[in-house]
Chain A
Amino acid sequence: MSKGFAVIQAIAGIAMTLLAAAAPPAGAQGTPPAQGSYAQRYAAVCASCHGANGRSDMAGTPVLAGQHSFYAITQLFLFREGRRDNPAMSAVAKTMKDEDLRGFSEFIATLPPLPAVPPAAPPDAARMARGQALAQAHRCVICHGADLSGGQQVPRIAQQREDYLQLTLHGFRTGKRPGYTQAMTEALSGISPEDLDTLAYYVARFPGAATRPPGK
């Protein structure tokens, strides 16, 4: 595992602590507000870490803009069940009833995809080419689509945060990050940590992908 990855893990740990502070008090549990208020609840519960428009600028915290509701509800479910290991998100999700999982995920799907903030320096062309070759060789596009926008239960990954992509890819590879199935772990099992970092670099800078509306 690379040194850079360990640093990111540490940053993510801090982010999770912040997240925990943002979790609503337990008293919110029994009183789901009326339909249609999930925009306000998102603003109150999620936006401080994930961004009001869904483009997080917090280390280790995923961009939600342009994410699919099916994927979002699945992750909320896995957090609530404690199957996806993230104490901060599990603390938030445990306060949610089934209709809240649905309300939050459907609201998230209304956030349009937003391009990443352009970096000061242009991407390293050689590293981008290497990342593209890896994405082809390891068949990322089979599920995530040629434009990496995903669909249904498959997440949009184009222009996701690089540090979060790194965390996720390493987590799947080592089996720490679960899905419903081991599909991602199987897909990544033969890839070296350096190549995962290169994939994250490439996917985070994936060109021209943030213009399509989110799917249902």
Chain B
Amino acid sequence: MARLRPHAATAALLCVAATAAWAQQPPAEEPGWAKGRPKTEAATRMAPVPSFPIPTAPDQLPTAKFKLPPGFKVETWASGVLDARSLRQGDKGTVFVSTLFVGNKVYAIAEKGDRKPKTIVDKTEFATGIEYHKGALYLATHKQIVRYDGIEDKLDNPGTPAVLHDKLPGGQDHSWRYLRVNGGKLYYAVGAPCNICDPDEAHARIFRMNLDGSGIETVARGVRNTVGFDFDPKTGSLWFTDNGRDWLSEDLPNDELNVVTKPDQHFGYPYCHQGNIADPEFGWGKNCGEYTRPAALLGPHAASLGLAFYNGKMFPTKYRGAMFIARHGPWNRTVKYADIAVAWPDGKGGAKVEPFMTGFVENNNYLGRPVDFLVLKDGSMLVSDDHAGAIYRISYGGR
């Protein structure tokens, strides 16, 4: 399915040379994701892999192949959820599910019942960033942030939302959003408009604004692309995953796990990666010491997405106050990997990271790819999988 083919043969190229007049044409801009890509055949065959356009059939899901620590179990909570990305829950139990390139939708799934996804927002590009707060569903696309008030009473017809912010820069690269409400502010991020470039002030930052869209301010700079962040319930600090640049090599740099500890910190992009690698182009004249170092490294091309602190009571004590991180897995790396990691803040600005749930990859093919988390009221945890179009439930039963 999403398998890479071998590419031994190189093409026979035309012998006819372009004339001087045509050669003078300025070359077109590369797509942003291809900036910095080597010209080798193996690298040029790696283009972003979108989700498969149909969900995996329920009996073909990889649920039984997942491996967890002793005492934990995982089951399929919902299937047939095409392109399932972010997860949030309403006060009345409705689980909201966003999508990215394939779905163009937001679904609502009733917690009880057959858990068939009901489309509540349709035909909306990049309908990816969602948050639920005080009866309202917030939705951030590449271009705007809107709010559907009283959403759980209007699932059949959510109506026209209030537009809170319509000046997001749009574009294609890293223009899918992630949302959290904390302390009366809505947090969102705008990624770099490219793989590697020197971004303007509208990009590569985490922002926050008041819930009515006013008072936009920068929370963190030098953030290439974060698609997962949450607040430590103990300290109130904002922790976020950041996806490292591409095409430096297969094994470097790592994705970062970062923590915001004061205003206006710069996390390095595009000048410094993973706290200790100056960028071969943009790093000249810069010093990695000028930027906030990551709390932990999450692996090369890991595509670290959703991040959620575990605030339930079902899992053993050691997991309370830990954060779960979805490593979606690389597209432009020969060896694939994907898992759910768990990370504990060490109280000194760092974090310890270890794998929690594995089994997403078989024979270097993705069976599933985790995206985001939702801790339910009973303390079990949902995980979305956009590749298989499913949502899993992880619970702990002890031994």
Q: Is B288 an interface residue (CB 8 A)?
A: no
B85 to chain A, nearest CB (A): 14
Question: Is the Cβ of B22 less than 8 Å from the Cβ of A130?
Answer: yes
Determine the interface band of chain A, counting residues with CB < 8 A from chain B: 35 or more
Answer whether A70 and B2 are a contact pair too, CB < 8 Å, given A99-B57, A137-B25.
yes
Q: Is the CB of A183 within 8 A of B172?
A: yes
- Known contacts A136-B18, A152-B2; A142/B30 CB under 8 A: yes
| A142–B102 CB distance below 8 A | no
Interface residue from A83, A141, A182 paired with B44 (Cβ < 8 Å): A141
Q: Is the CB of B101 within 8 A of A208?
A: no
- Tell me which of A20-28, A143-151, A166-174 binds B: A143-151
| Nearest B residue (CB) for A98 | B54
Interface string of A185-216 (1 = CB under 8 A from B): 01100100000000000000001110010011
CB distance from A97 to the nearest CB of B (A): 9
Let me know if B9 and A128 touch, CB within 8 A. no
Partner of A147, one of B2, B10, B27: B10
Across the interface, which residues of A come within 8 angstroms of B25, CB to CB?
133, 137
> Is A153 in contact with chain B by the CB < 8 A criterion?
yes
- Which residues of the other chain, A, contact B2 by a CB distance below 8 angstroms? 70, 152
Interface string of B232-254 (1 = CB under 8 A from A): 00000000000000000000000
Question: Hey, what's the 0/1 contact readout for B272-309 against A, CB within 8 Å counting as 1?
Answer: 00000000000000000000000000000000000000
Complex: how many Å from CA A147 to CA B17?
17
The CA of A148 and the CA of B7, in the complex, are separated in Å by 12
Q: Are B11 and A145 touching (Cβ within 8 A)? A: yes
User: Cβ of A130: which chain B residues have Cβ within 8 Å of it?
Assistant: 18, 22
Say what secondary structure dominates the interface of chain A: helix
A216 touches B16 (CB 8 A): no
Q: Is the CB of B27 within 8 A of A139?
A: yes
A180 to B125, CA, bound (A): 9
Q: Are A146 and B31 in contact (CB-based, < 8 A)?
A: no
Contacts A98-B55, A132-B18, A186-B172 given; indicate if A146 touches B13 (C-beta within 8 A): yes
- Given A125-B16, A207-B14, the answer on whether A146 and B53 have CB atoms closer than 8 Å is no
Q: Which residues on the B side are within 8 Å of A146 (C-beta)?
A: 10-11, 13, 41, 44
Distance, CA A143 to CA B44, complexed state (A): 7
A129 adjacent to chain B (CB < 8 Å): yes
Q: Is B159 an interface residue (CB 8 A)?
A: no
Q: How far is the CB of A209 from chain B (nearest CB, A)?
A: 7
| Interface status of A73 (Cβ within 8 A of chain B) | yes
From 68 to 108 in chain A, residues with beta carbon under 8 angstroms from any chain B beta carbon are 69-70, 73-74, 76-78, 83, 98-99, 101-102
For the complex formed, measure the closest distance between the CB of B69 and the CB atoms of chain A, giving whole angstroms.
34
Q: Tell me whether B47 and A152 are in contact (CB under 8 A).
A: yes
Contacting pair A77 B53 (CB below 8 A): yes
Q: Which residues of A contact B16 (CB under 8 A)?
A: 125, 128-129, 132
User: B31–A183 contact, CB under 8 A?
Assistant: yes
Q: Give 4 nearest A-B pairs by CB, closest first.
A: A147-B11, A77-B53, A133-B18, A215-B5
**Contacts A69-B1, A128-B14, A147-B9 known; 15 new A-B pairs at CB < 8 A:** A74-B50, A98-B57, A101-B53, A129-B18, A133-B22, A137-B22, A137-B26, A139-B28, A142-B34, A146-B41, A147-B11, A148-B11, A149-B11, A152-B4, A190-B28
Task: Write the residues of chain A forming the contact surface with B, with a CB cutoff of 8 angstroms.
Answer: 69-70, 73-74, 76-78, 83, 98-99, 101-102, 125, 128-130, 132-134, 136-139, 141-143, 145-149, 151-154, 180-183, 186-187, 190, 207-209, 212, 215-216
6 contacts between A and B (CB under 8 A): A99-B57, A128-B14, A132-B14, A146-B13, A147-B9, A216-B1
